[in-house]
Amino acid sequence: MSEHQGQHDAERRAFIGKSLAAVSLASVAPGVMLGVASASSGQGGVSDQVRLGLLIDTNKCVDGCTACVDGCNKENGIDLFQKPEGQDADMWEQQRPQWIRKVKVRDRATGVVTNLPLMCQHCEKPPCVDVCPTGASLKRPDGIVMVDRHICIGCRYCMMACPYKARSFIHSDVAEKVLQAPRGKGTVESCNLCAYRMDKGADQTACQEACSTAGYGAIIYGDLRDPESAISKALKSMPSVELRPDLDLNNGVRYTRI
């Protein structure tokens, strides 16, 4: 009997040993990819030596003109949205996706009226990024503040936090999808300084192009850190302010003659 037991133990040990070896060889931690396929190395990307922004000359901005709004809507597929059947017109105006809008302000003391386009101000210290619970609202290294809509859960906290009401929400299913602005129901979006268009080789944002085509040329886009860029030169040539300077957000979008 004892002889047999010795043999059993040896066999069992060998079996257990072999099966453990096989299991450890076969099991791989999830997410580890064996073999040839490997995702991109991630060495590229935008640099933080660049800070992108806009300068808007409100003197050139004309009352009643909506060229920049129309240009942005066409470029980013926003014009494909229509008021749903039976919805209140007021409600639609408040809830429709909008990346840029025309604002008219009147100085209380003097009565002077100023027109300006208002879009995401691409703050250096964005409140929307602070409040986002998932990290979907992000500031890119080059200063563009945008929403990663894969991560966005649609809570709209950023919409509440934004002092400029720059963000909008998609309330309905998207039928016609455009490559430059993939969007889906239940996510928040805002101006991204035409990042897709710029990556494809354009040198003007859609609003800038529309404004210069309309003959006013009130919008200049460029690299705020590059002293040779058109925007830097324009910023040096005339005084400019950011909207709501009391909030100390250091916006990338500046306005002159307000």
- For residue 106, the 8-state DSSP code is E
* 86-94, 146-154, 213-221, 244-252 -> range binding other proteins (CB under 8 A): 146-154
Nearer to other proteins, 62 or 80 (CB): 80
Minimum CB distance to other proteins, residue 36 (Å): 5
Nearest CA among 248, 198, 199, 170 for reference residue 54: 198
Please tell me whether residue 182 binds other proteins under the rule CB under 8 A: yes
Nearer to other proteins, 176 or 246 (CB): 176
* 60-68, 133-141, 204-212, 215-223 -> range binding other proteins (CB under 8 A): 133-141
Among 60, 184, 225, 234, binds other proteins (CB under 8 A): 184
The pair phi, psi for residue 169, each rounded to 5°, is -120, 145
Write down the residue that tokens 């996510």 correspond to.
187
Q: Cα dist. 215→194, 208, 212 in Å? A: 21, 11, 5
Among 24, 42, 110, 239, binds other proteins (CB under 8 A): 42
DSSP E strand stretches across 69-205:
100-106, 113-119, 137-139, 145-147, 168-169, 188-189
Subset of 6-25 contacting other proteins (CB under 8 A): 7-8, 11-12
CA distance 90 to 64: 20
Site track 65-104 with other proteins (rule: CB under 8 A), x = hit: ---------x----xxxx----------------------
Please tell me whether residue 154 binds other proteins under the rule CB under 8 A: no
Minimum CB distance to other proteins, residue 64 (Å): 21
DSSP E strand stretches across the chain:
52-57, 100-106, 113-119, 137-139, 145-147, 168-169, 188-189, 219-223, 240-241, 253-256
Please tell me whether residue 48 binds other proteins under the rule CB under 8 A: no
Nearer to other proteins, 79 or 107 (CB): 79
Minimum CB distance to other proteins, residue 100 (Å): 17
| Beta-strand relationship, 113-119 and 100-106 | antiparallel
